[in-house]
Amino acid sequence: KDLEEREMLLKAAKSRSNKEDPEQLRLKQKAKELQQLELAQIQHRDANLTALAAIGPRKKRPLESGIEGLKDNLLASGTSSLTATKQLHRPRITRVCLRDLIFCMEQEREMKYSRALYLALLK
């Protein structure tokens, strides 16, 4: 049904009749908008594909079985299970803005009057 309506709109846009009624003008305008929308979607999709191609393939995370195999190898080589889990589960580094850090320091009771907060405010 949408395809038929689209075809009708495109035919209306291409017609060149001298006496155009308001309905015909409205159909032409709607057809133009439809064509512009389709063109914008195609350009957007092409731009996304180009950007993805420039970035390259996504990196895959190691599978759980690979981690378990690594644990087994570490245990077999004589290291304790505690060090094996520490190496595998290190905390993620989080970057913060200085303004956010200063705000948090101002809220903490111990840090409110600290030298570190004073020096951070000087920057």
Q: 56-65, pLDDT tens digit by residue?
A: 777 766 665 5
Q: Which two tokens stand for residue 44?
A: 């957007």
Instruction: Determine the average pLDDT of the residues in 17-31.
Output: 78
This prediction has a pTM of 0.39
CA dihedral of 6, 12, 13, 18, whole degrees rounded to 10: 180
The arithmetic mean of pLDDT across residues 4-19, rounded, is 75
Phi, psi of 96 (to 5 degrees): -130, 160
